[in-house]
Structure 1
């Protein structure tokens, strides 16, 4: 396993095997995926919850402690991107497409069927926003930040390859270049492929639903395949323009479209209620953060936690290698403290406001205006909820088209970052992977997405994603220890260097004094 292309060919072969199984034995694949998901929920839910909380605690510790002063690069390096552009790239390359998909559907789902208490009530409305903020809050971004800060430190500060195996250097030394290191990279590549394919699947389902709503195009597997093909051609073509070109421009376009949609709903919707929901939700979330983070429901069936909280936390873990690798790539020159504040808290505020505007408005329409059609849409077909919601605003057709464009652009941005990261890891940490490698991974992602939709639809996408979270959580916990060890050694090196420089300055001062 020492060849330069071992990681690429091994991960590509496994991906093709999974695609083949999905095509030729779809029922068996769906059954295995669902059984794996049920086993994880019943036996390892506590591990997922505990791991995610630990990641957040670890990020806060290294960000606010003496480690926060360490720069992700040389001491003279400064950030490559302006903070506004950096935040936009963080946001659009990670959860943007998911926000559009779940912005209305998730809060309304919790309002109808809360984790506890009576549904469709004032109490369930408060719980809806509280748990939405849990699922999309600091816990999610901490998973990304753990991988991002670890890889950025070892890549830019310690000059190691841009592969996840590099973060284990303090524990393994040069063995990261051997079979074990390549095994880590293969596992990471597979998780990225499944994660981004799932994202494409969610986006495809919603776009198909929107096209059916607007133009009567049937919701079918063939329609979804056509959407996947078109989107794949766009993102595979755009990825060859390079990171500075396509990614930067698409990220900026994402933010403009997202802000335009938000502003429209905010000012034409129940503005005062939205702002109250936003602040109330943050207060309830902060007050109950610890309890919600460890809520396992041991004295009941726990189906709600399994279906939502464990799904989301597993999702963030599964996405961490992809988003973390991309975040690391664009964060050179920032201090760890700056990185943690920017990568965890700033995007969270944006996500909270999105849900307050979209989901808060929907709940207000149901509870105060009696518009139960939105709730019915969420219960029957979650992909149609957003378009049903737009019916209660002027220019609903325009809003629906804007939302579909936003989904597509968000996905193209995510896919761009995904194939770029896959290329880097496949080529042993090459910061500028070849176009051929990126194109191959772009085609594989499209194929995996089509297979996942074919074998299970929405539930199949969820099952495949969460199933990858357990081995990745273990890997990330070890990563935390390795990073801590590396940062501790770096502080010692910095102190020795500083002491040496001060000693040289003292010698020069003494020489100057004697000459005088």
Structure 2
């Protein structure tokens, strides 16, 4: 862009002189021995602990979880809503005009492709696992403090609670981290590291020193455990698919570990193949399959009921939003703490643990968009897709449950297959679900392993294969340990949830600091400074005009005059369209 302007004989936009642009990245990635070494050593110690003393690790994690929920559950709840307010405020404020890149730079990807890629990386596997199970669970057992009078009201409560967990709040968390990284990298020219975002808050020296390394280590831990939880969910659902199709009589720990091993090999292979061949290719496949599956269920299922459920769900969600956002252990209703640990707090922790790699991935594909476009696209578009997904699958499940056509003995991971069994070609659709779960996980986990490699190698956009493979294998090992802690069968989901909450708790503080650092950066953005200086200059000129000419004056824009009386050509600006040749009345123009 600058080269084009130079060829045309025009000067760069004033903001560009103060913005270094994208950072120069070394062709050969260099591993940070502190970040990689500490994170790797602690993770390996966790794996060894889980193998040698599973019961002890389970006991310790449960005690830590109880303390975290009872003493810090409020922090998760408050922080999650705070991120929503912060993201929406940025979009609606004067900062919304700022471009994530050079001024006037165009987006790198088309809007449709941009939305598809970030949605696939953001929560694809979660929608497959919870698309049926969460609305159905809340329909059968309403959240504490709610008392639906009939089935229709119970459905409204179930959909409102589900949308609360899957729309504004998670995507606002992704938007905050992704926006901070994109602004820091493409606007300020820093390395693509979460620690680099903290430069205006702790200084460049600390951001590149021990302070920044601690932040990047916490980001690796959050990413690792969040990805491992997703891998565990995928293994549970694929295993349930085997039993639902009658291929296996039961699912044991051995089968789950084998599924994890296969998925780990798949996403490691995808990760080392590169984004163009791996993530983009898989994203295209799973989006087509997901849309096809959703359209099939919509057409063969209760179509009119689903259409009626859409506006009802939106109204119920907006009506109950404040109450749901303020639900803590102090809320009325028995068992609120346990319910929060299994649902809201777990979700907030899970989304927070995904923010480092989803945020970095969204940042990489969002160059050239304004902050307003970024926030609007990241929050509203995926939230709309989530609404449609849960209305189709959750609505179909609740409709079947209301007609007493579903088994009460089904597990959370098996409920989607139970729903599909009620419709034609159940075997085919069940196989499609297992393929989708595997591909959704692979497309997300390979991004996670690349991001962990980036964090380990000083922000390199293409980390070395060895580091990527190392983190990929460790992710699979941690997922296996998390399932073992939960018992491998009935309590496996609990084990995944418990450790995800514990791993995400420290990174919540990092996200709060990130918001403060981003705000400081934006206040000093050249576009904002230029606007502020312009308002000050106009205000000063108007005051001077009133004082000197008693209101009979006009404002002109033209070449400035230097102290020796010559015109300063370098300061020449185009005349304002309303410029007049002389003052003609006692008015201020």
TM exceeding 0.5: yes
- 1:376 corresponds to 2:409: yes
Q: Report deviation, 1:156.
A: 1.0
Give the aligned partner of residue 336 of structure 1: 371
Partner of residue 241 from structure 1, selected from 248, 273, 281: 273
Q: Please list, as runs of the form range in 1=range in 2, the aligned pairs for 1:89-488 lying within 5 A after superposition.
A: 89-115=117-143, 116-117=146-147, 121-174=151-204, 175-214=206-245, 215-216=247-248, 218-296=250-328, 298=330, 299-301=332-334, 302=336, 303-367=338-402, 369-373=403-407, 375-377=408-410, 381-456=411-486, 457-488=492-523
Contact 1:210–1:400 under 8 Å retained in 2: yes
Give the aligned partner of residue 585 of structure 2: none
SS in 2 for 1:371: coil
Q: Which consecutive unaligned segments of at least 5 residues does structure 1 have?
A: 511-516
Distance 2:193 2:45 in 1: 24
Distance 1:28 1:120 in 2: 45
After superposition, the Cα gap between the structure-2 partners of 1:365 and 1:159, relative to the gap in structure 1 and judged at 3 Å, is: same
Distance 1:120 1:312 in 2: 27
Q: Report deviation, 1:305.
A: 3.1
SS in 2 for 1:334: coil
Distance 1:5 1:393 in 2: 55
Distance 2:57 2:530 in 1: 52
Contact 2:115–2:381 under 8 Å retained in 1: yes
Write 1 or 2 for the structure with the bigger share of helix.
Answer: 1
Contact 2:98–2:371 under 8 Å retained in 1: yes
Contact 1:113–1:120 under 8 Å retained in 2: no
Distance 1:400 1:203 in 2: 14
Distance 2:32 2:416 in 1: 47
Q: Which consecutive unaligned segments of at least 5 residues does structure 2 have?
A: 1-29, 487-491, 538-556, 561-568, 576-589
Distance 1:139 1:254 in 2: 24
- 1:31 corresponds to 2:63: no
Q: Report deviation, 1:314.
A: 2.0
Contact 1:113–1:119 under 8 Å retained in 2: no
Q: Report deviation, 1:81.
A: 1.7
Of structures 1 and 2, the one scoring higher in RCO (CA 8 A, sep 6+) is 1
Contact 2:148–2:154 under 8 Å retained in 1: yes
Distance 2:149 2:329 in 1: 18
Contact 1:195–1:465 under 8 Å retained in 2: yes
Q: Report deviation, 1:493.
A: 4.4
Give the aligned partner of residue 513 of structure 1: none
Q: Report deviation, 1:307.
A: 2.5
Contact 1:112–1:120 under 8 Å retained in 2: no
After superposition, the Cα gap between the structure-2 partners of 1:501 and 1:361, relative to the gap in structure 1 and judged at 3 Å, is: farther
TM-score of the superposition, structure 1-length normalised? Answer: 0.93
Distance 2:201 2:471 in 1: 30
Give the aligned partner of residue 507 of structure 1: 572
Contact 1:111–1:120 under 8 Å retained in 2: no
Distance 1:218 1:433 in 2: 40
Q: Report deviation, 1:313.
A: 1.7
After superposition, the Cα gap between the structure-2 partners of 1:487 and 1:508, relative to the gap in structure 1 and judged at 3 Å, is: closer
Q: Report deviation, 1:78.
A: 2.0
Contact 1:143–1:316 under 8 Å retained in 2: yes
Q: Which of these two proteins has the greater Rg computed from alpha carbons?
A: 2
Distance 2:53 2:384 in 1: 43
Distance 2:60 2:341 in 1: 18
Distance 2:292 2:570 in 1: 56
